[in-house]
A = this chain, B = another copy of it.
Amino acid sequence: MAKELTTRAENYSQWYNDLVIKADLAENSAVRGCMVIKPYGYAIWEKMQAALDKKFKDTGHSNAYFPLFIPKSFFSKEASHVEGFAKECAVVTHYRLKNDTVNGGVIVDPDSKLEEELIIRPTSETIIWSTYKNWIQSYRDLPLLINQWANVVRWEMRTRLFLRTAEFLWQEGHTAHSTMQEAVEETMRMVHVYADFAENFMAMPVIIGRKSENERFAGALDTYCIEALMQDGKALQAGTSHFLGQNFAKAFDVQFTSKEGKLEYVWATSWGVSTRLMGALVMAHSDDHGLVLPPKLAPIQVVIVPIYKGLDQLPGLNAVAEKIKKDLEDKGVSVKYDNRDTQKPGWKFAEYELKGVPVRLALGPRDLENGTIELARRDTLEKKILPQEKIADYIVELLDEIQKNIYTKALNFRENNITPVSTWDEFKEVLDTKGGFISAYWDGTAETEVKIKEETKATIRCIPLDTEENTGTDIFSGKPGKFKVLYARAY
């Protein structure tokens, strides 16, 4: 196996870590819980950002930037919000270092203590709503549809590359509306934007649903999410959209004069996705050979590798390869031609398999004679010999097909791993043997949810949007089931 990747069957968790590091996506830094996103990983993130950013702008949002720091007092203005985030906050207390005259090096200058400590934003509702107070006076100032691309910090104790890190990159939308209905519509619009992105760019099927009260964002009245299924049968929350009601408007006294001249509190939403999506992308599709990237997010969509015995054969191969490269680039395909003489073709094949390049072309002297080229698909690992003529057209269509195929494969896996159960024994057995989503009735109480979690580590991932109420029995409590929900163990 290329660079000795642990197999999924052997140890899924180790496979994931190996892959993230060996495919040059990210690595742990010298700072506890913080990662370095390496150029290849960052190139994928940039593609995600570009696609999402376009969707946000197409739905009327503008980007802006708010401070990294939040004064401690702001933070505690919304009670459940501070409760949810206080235990994992990086706190700035001083603003100067000075030379350590005793031991050498530098120490924190005690004279530089801040009057009020600053919290590194774990999310920006409080600093943003304190700003919105000055921006919103009248219904004419609404809606306010703003997004921010930023880094945030949550001092997690157990971290994993991309999935859970102390610092991560994300976008956070923060919108303000004059009516509850408009805010609810925005909340739903954005969770659908996320689902659309996950399915059409990441090729990752997701279930859209509502969170139970326990799993809600701290400060929200309702949290909607997209939930994806990883290959090990664990779920992953890939994006959330929150209806915040008037909680933050009340905490920061943001009122507006309505058309009717009445003073009312503003309605709010917030929504975000993060570099966690990188982890989801890796785990949803990749295999024991390495990454499998959907073409729409692959930094390199096609790699061309020349096969030659002596360097004298290279010029002829270069000419054909460069022509194919240009044809592809003219059609908007990103291509790398790797004719480095420092590595053998076999090494290159393994390398680009590891990095998930969707299409690999190999070109040798016999191909020059025959006007052919060898094409290998990363998703199916199939190879075939094709005529060089019209190869660019063929590949453009193939990239589409690969994108769809990766999605369909993940969708089939997901569909085969939603198991309806009606008894508690069945629930535990499915969870321990098959995993995946378990569809079951829930009585709607936090008590039941907590007990199930304590006993099995499974949580309610969501109440799918299309769920029906009042039609079954809670598998745990035996009480009337209020919602049909999806349970799973989750990242």
> A residues bordering B, Cβ < 8 Å?
27, 29-31, 34-39, 42-43, 45-46, 62-76, 82, 86-99, 105-106, 108, 112, 117-120, 127, 130-131, 134, 140, 146, 150-151, 153, 155, 167, 169, 342
Contacts and interface: CB of A to CB of B under 8 A. Distances in A.
A67 to B, nearest CB: 4
A97 B93 contact: no
A65 B36 contact: yes
B76 A64 contact: no
Given A73-B105, A87-B98, 5 more contacts: A29-B67, A37-B65, A42-B62, A91-B108, A91-B112
B67 A34 contact: yes
A46 B90 CA distance: 29
Contact of A34 (B43, B64, B69, B82): B69
Contact of A72 (B72, B87, B106): B106
B167 A36 contact: no
A391 to B, nearest CB: 26
A236 to B, nearest CB: 21
Assembly stoichiometry (copies): 2
B117 A108 contact: yes
A91 B88 contact: no
Nearest to A155: B95
A97 B89 contact: yes
A86 B92 contact: no
Contacts of A127: 29-31
Contacts of A64: 36-39, 42
Contacts of A65: 36-37, 42, 45, 169
A93 B93 contact: yes
A96 to B, nearest CB: 6
Nearest to A87: B96
B106 A75 contact: yes
A27 B134 CA distance: 11
A31 B70 contact: yes
Contacts of A62: 39, 42-43
B106 A96 contact: no
Contacts of A37: 64-65
A76 B108 CA distance: 12
Nearest to A40: B62
Given A37-B64, A39-B63, A64-B39, A72 B97 contact: yes
Given A29-B131, A30-B71, A167-B68, A96 B43 contact: no
A87 B169 CA distance: 28
A154 to B, nearest CB: 10
Contacts of A66: 29, 36
Given A29-B66, A31-B70, A34-B69, A90 B97 contact: no
Given A92-B90, A92-B91, A140-B342, A82 B67 contact: no
16 contacts: A27-B134, A30-B67, A30-B130, A36-B67, A36-B131, A39-B62, A42-B63, A45-B65, A46-B63, A68-B167, A72-B108, A73-B105, A75-B106, A90-B118, A93-B108, A96-B155
A258 to B, nearest CB: 15
A124 to B, nearest CB: 11
A86 B97 contact: yes
A116 to B, nearest CB: 10
Nearest to A169: B65
A67 B26 CA distance: 12
> Which of A38, A43, A68 has the most chain B CB atoms closer than 10 A to its own CB?
A68
Given A67-B34, A71-B30, A95 B105 contact: no
Nearest to A117: B108
A335 to B, nearest CB: 15
Contact of A96 (B30, B89, B95, B134): B89
Contacts of A71: 30-31
